Amino acid sequence: MSSALRFQVVGEAFKKHPVEVKAPTERPSEFFGKYVFSRQKMAQYLPEDVYTKMIAVMDGGATLDLATADVVAESMKRWAMDLGVTHITHWFQPLTEGTAEKHDGFVVHDGHGGMIEEFTGKQLVQQEPDASSFPSGGIRSTFEARGYSAWDPASPVFVIGDTLMIPTIFIAYTGEALDYKAPLKKALHAVDKAATAVAQLFYPDVKKVVSNLGWEQEYFLVDEGLYAARPDLLMTGRTLMGHDSAKNQQMDDHYFGSIPERVAAFMRDLEIQALELGIPCKTRHNEAAPNQFELAPIYEETNLAVDHNMLLMMLMKKVARHHGFRCLLHEKPFAGINGSGKHNNWSLTTDTGILLHGPGRTQKDNLRFITFIVETLMAVWRHNGLLKASIVSASNAHRLGGYEAPPAIISSFLGTQLSAVLDHLEKSTDDAITLDSKHELRLDIPQIPELLIDNTDRNRTSPFAFTGNRFEFRAVGSEANCASAMIALNSAVAEALMDFRKRVDELTAAGSDTMSAILKLVRQDIAACRAIRFDGNGYSQEWQQEAARRGLDTEGSVPLVIDRYLDDESVEMFARTHVFERKELEARNEIKWDTYTKKIQIEARIFGDLCINHIVPVATRYQSQLIDSVHKMLDIFSAEKARELSANNISLIEQIAEHTSFITSNVDKLIDARRVANRIEDVRQRAIAYHDTVAPLIETIRKHVDKLELIVDDELWPLPKYRELLFIR
Ligand code: ADP
Ligand code: MG
């Protein structure tokens, strides 16, 4: 496929996909949530008493009885059928990085030879998808394949096309979670309970704490025609070979640049569809790498935000195809330029509207603010290895530790102002707290400027940065289900807050005043978790060494990082917060190791095939052309003259021979390495073998393929090149 041909492919795409998107006649505020059975719609469609019951259920207070569910289902059906819906599906998040659905029609026999539409409470509340084909890590062997999905009323149902989608958890009959949502809900419950207990020390009226998540989704777009000509992209989501384009992102001209027309049309279409599904899209812009973009909604309650992210990723892929693009969510589709992440902005808020993160007006507010900051840091410090384990994957590994993304070490950046406050507090003495005659609290905390919220200095190299009124967990992968990170973070923070409250209670039981007790403990904890605070350059070599000295987890091998889930501290933490039992952690780790192995295995296979079927034959053909030319020179010129004139070609012939023979022999080694690894019974050991022997060989061989790309005639080169994939729109 020559460059000219490749251009044709793109031209066709332009013709097929005009940049116009039909604009809806309504404003976004009017069509927002059009396809969601929201509280508003419930109020409209449900009898009043049932509506009241449902609100209680959704807010976590009550359990749903079947009679209520029947009424709700009937109303949902009426609403959905008005939109042309004929099917329902439970929509769940199994441990494959995607979502799953199984559609059933509304129709049932009416007993008189005809059909009627029916949708019962039972169908709404519970289904039994044949679970045997979903990963379960040995929790359920195939002969007891039963798992069931159960409606999560906290996440509203929605309509896509002709189908009513019902967000559900997915669990084994024996109760273990087979998905992301079930443990996420447990973690959110744990952090609610623990944070409420601590918040009540300051504000006795607080009844509930909500965990919020605002994700920022990065992605690449490539032309569909070119994508189809790259078997590696098609099968693995990333290019396994490809030389740097002469121009990539060195000019920094893409970030926040003007959005190309065809891309803008895609974004518009995507946003309209997302808004209709209730995803509060807010921000869109070009990212740092060419053809890389970002979409961010306004933050929401974490469970809903996770559902919305899964839904958005699904939509992105679908809508991209309508515009002749493929949307790449892989963390590192192209070597040498920035990969994609998914920043997870996280915070806690109370039902009384007080932001737990963000300095307040009174000294008490300030101490509350600092308490939650410090206890979050305690959690991140204690479980830094686990948090890393919550975001690693075969694909995210290409991004972490590069010079463009957070390093494979978790640390937290607070900014100079907040750091100064904590340092000051740590050094201050017990006299720092007094109660004056009006019982007004006086703390020796330097005034925290209100501007802090908008004004924190930025450190792009930090994986867990405080950004004014939230922490931003930046190490999450673009392709990942955010739930994984959110389960670990919220559970760990819940544990830290449980401990904190317990220690405060012990001090007050011994006669201490509550605020003095809090201050004392906060001071202790600032000192204890000092190691996690790092405001310097996370990309630097020195940080690697410094972090190891501080006792932070610096392991970079994915299969070994996954071990952190089974550390005693992790098992204990998840047990105390009732999020996972050891058995579940073991099962889930098996899946993680197995998934890692399979990903590398597929890459190795495709890569080997491409080398042997695409690259080596083409290089050899070009080499033969060069050899022919050298021979023909001898026909025309004297031997000496011919040699002189062919010097360059002879050198190329030699280089091609060296590269192709390296590639062929090392692809053999790659196949052997796979064979050896495949024989290993133990899933963990097998993943380690894939990491240590198979993955590095791919990278080594790739260098030679990329060299050949620079040598071989462009007319012959079989794969679209980086400059085409990345710059043609
Ligand atoms: P950035 O400068 O990091 O790109 P944005 O303004 O794009 O920041 O916001 C990133 C995300 O952070 C958005 O989803 C936004 O709604 C979310 N966010 C803002 N405040 C909070 C908060 N208190 N808690 C959680 N997420 C928040
Ligand atoms: Mg951000």
pLDDT at 25: 75
Lowest mean pLDDT among 63-67, 251-255, 457-461: 251-255
pLDDT at 432: 52
**H/E stretch holding 636:** helix 616-636
Contact yes or no for 220/289 (Cβ under 8 A): yes
Residue 104, SS3 per DSSP:
strand
Residue 553, SS3 per DSSP:
coil
In tens, the pLDDT along 130-175 reads 667 777 777 655 445 578 899 999 899 999 999 999 999 999 888 8
Contact yes or no for 613/619 (Cβ under 8 A): no
Closest residue to atom 1 of ligand 1, CA basis: 216
**H/E stretch holding 277:** none
CATH number of 596-725: 1.20.120.1560
Taking residues 288-299, what's their average pLDDT?
91
Contact yes or no for 316/445 (Cβ under 8 A): no
Ligand 2 centroid vs 462 CA: distance in angstroms? 11
Ligand 1 centroid vs 139 CA: distance in angstroms? 38
Taking residues 520-529, what's their average pLDDT?
96
Residue 91's closest CA among 20, 42, 50, 149?
Answer: 149
Q: Which residues of 59-97 are buried (b: 16+ CB within 10 A; e: fewer)?
A: eeeeebeeebbbbbbbbbbebbeeeebebbbbbbbbbeb
Position 344 confidence tier, pLDDT thresholds 50, 70, 90? very high
Candidate from 211, 212, 216 with most ligand 1 atoms within 8 A of CB, to mutate: 216
Contact yes or no for 617/716 (Cβ under 8 A): no
* Residue 445 reports pLDDT greater than 70: no
**Domain 32-178 superfamily per CATH:** Glutamine synthetase, N-terminal domain (3.10.20.70)
Closest listed ligand to the CA of 345: 1
* Residue 521 reports pLDDT greater than 70: yes
- Could you give the CA distance from residue 237 to residue 230 in angstroms, rounded to a whole number? 10
Could you check whether 32-178 and 187-240+251-580 share the same CATH topology?
no
Residue-level length of the chain: 729
Candidate from 213, 299, 462 with most ligand 1 atoms within 8 A of CB, to mutate: 299
pLDDT at 593: 97
Lowest mean pLDDT among 15-19, 77-81, 552-556: 15-19
Query: Where do the domains of the chain lie?
Result: 32-178, 187-240+251-580, 596-725
The contacts of residue 418 (CB under 8 Å, 6+ apart) are 373, 448, 452, 456, 466
**φ, ψ at 686 (rounded to 5°):** -65, -45
What separation in angstroms does the CA of 443 have from each of 290, 377, 430, 434, 447? 51, 21, 10, 7, 10
Residue 480 in tokens: 């990942």
Contact yes or no for 646/630 (Cβ under 8 A): yes
Closest residue to atom 17 of ligand 1, CA basis: 214
In tens, the pLDDT along 599-657 reads 999 999 999 999 999 999 999 999 999 999 999 999 999 999 999 999 999 999 999 99
- Provide the 10 A C-beta neighbour count for residue 500: 24
- Give the architecture (CATH level 2) of 187-240+251-580: 2-Layer Sandwich (3.30)
Candidate from 284, 293, 345, 474 with most ligand 1 atoms within 8 A of CB, to mutate: 345
- Could you give the CA distance from residue 259 to residue 292 in angstroms, rounded to a whole number? 10
Ligand 1 centroid vs 357 CA: distance in angstroms? 13
Residue 257 in tokens: 């640049």
The contacts of residue 428 (CB under 8 Å, 6+ apart) are 444, 523
Closest residue to atom 6 of ligand 1, CA basis: 283
- Could you give the CA distance from residue 493 to residue 525 in angstroms, rounded to a whole number? 14
Q: Is 256 left (phi over 0), alpha (psi -120 to 50) or beta?
A: left
In the structure, which protein residues have their CB atom closer than 6 angstroms to any atom of ligand 1?
Answer: 212, 214, 216, 283, 296-299, 345-347, 469-470
pLDDT at 469: 86
Ligand 1 centroid vs 252 CA: distance in angstroms? 23
Closest ligand 1 atom to residue 215 Cα is 14
- DSSP 8-state class, residue 431: G
Q: Which position has the token pair 């209100």?
A: 450
Closest listed ligand to the CA of 213: 1
* Residue 579 reports pLDDT greater than 90: yes
